Structure 1
Amino acid sequence: MSTTPTPDATPVFTQVQLFTDSDGRARFRDVQIPLTEGTPASRLSQAMAASALQLRQSPVGFQSSFHCTGHPQWLFVLRGRMEIGLQDGSTRVFGPGEHFYSADTLPAGAVFDPALHGHRSRQLGDEPLVTLFVRD
């Protein structure tokens, strides 16, 4: 988790977001969430709704094919390392305590094309991957 003060001194949480761009491809972007609640000693964001939590353990060697996120959700890495790969060949690696918000859903009316849509994921290293999903 990273927090950065804004020019007006309001700290923000930087949400790494995986989203579907206007061309149908998955991309990453950083979204700033202001921490405007709480006290100066403990800054909080506004409350966000969540409908479900789900834990997942992926064994050493796990890798997925390209797919889209079914439901927008936060993904927090609790143990191990996870690589997310995009169609353009770019990748990002997330380790314990890191997160991203997965919202790369299939565009309305589109038929899934594994050469165009979504992302792939894989476990890295010699430790199983343990993740926590928090669904909107």
Structure 2
Amino acid sequence: MNYYDLYADDAGDSHFRDVEVALEERNFAPPAKAIEISNTKAATGMLFLRLRAGWNEPIHPTPVAQTLICLRGRVRVTASDGDTRDIGPGDVWRMADTHGKGHHTEVIGDDDFECVIAQHG
């Protein structure tokens, strides 16, 4: 299991890195059997978002650190260093580029993009 992590360096350039999620087998919901589970990540809010087909926004930093989980559709995200990721159903994207040059997002394909976002601050 992994997610795309978009962050800004000290110079304000945004970059992607692929992060492997560490899972550990433990009892989560006794009396159910132990399951593989990650550590908890704190969240301050959750929202649903839709970008209509054709959406193509200007480059910007994320307003707060947040994690997006794609439900439907696809977007292409370009970091300020030119690296891209196509985000589609089931993909997880952590946005931490809260300062600097930011990233560009555009909906690709004919379907609207729908997702759930957990905000971290």
Report the TM range for the smaller structure's normalisation: 0.7 to 0.9
Within 5 Å, which residues of 2 pair with 1:119-134? 119-134=103-118
CA–CA distance in structure 2, aligned partners of residues 105 and 45 of structure 1: 25
CA–CA distance in structure 1, aligned partners of residues 84 and 5 of structure 2: 13
Note if 1:20 corresponds to 2:8: yes
Where does structure 1 differ by over 3 angstroms across 4 or more consecutive aligned residues? none
**RMSD between aligned alpha carbons?**
1.7
Instruction: Kindly provide the CA deviation profile for residues 48-101 of structure 1, in whole angstroms up to 9, marking residues without a partner as x.
Output: 211111111111100110000111110111100011012233221011000110
Instruction: Kindly provide the CA deviation profile for residues 104-128 of structure 1, in whole angstroms up to 9, marking residues without a partner as x.
Output: 0115xxxxxxxxx000101110111
Aligned to 1:59: 52
With the length of structure 1 as denominator, give the TM-score of the two structures. 0.77
How far off its partner does 1:131 sit?
Answer: 1.3
Amino acid at match of 1:59: R
Within 5 Å, which residues of 2 pair with 1:1-136? 2=1, 14-38=2-26, 42-106=35-99, 117-136=101-120
Asked whether the equivalents of residues 73 and 103 of structure 1 are also in contact (C-alpha less than 8 Å), the reply is: yes
Specify the SS of the correspondent of 2:21: strand
Evaluate the alpha carbon distance shift between residue 36 and residue 119 of structure 1 in structure 2; reply closer, same or farther with a 3 A threshold: same
Amino acid at match of 1:67: H
Where structure 1 has 5 or more consecutive residues not aligned to the other structure, the ranges are 3-13, 108-116
Percent sequence identity over matched residues? 31
Amino acid at match of 1:127: D
Specify the SS of the correspondent of 1:106: coil
Specify the SS of the correspondent of 1:93: strand
**Deviates most, 34-43 or 55-64:** 34-43
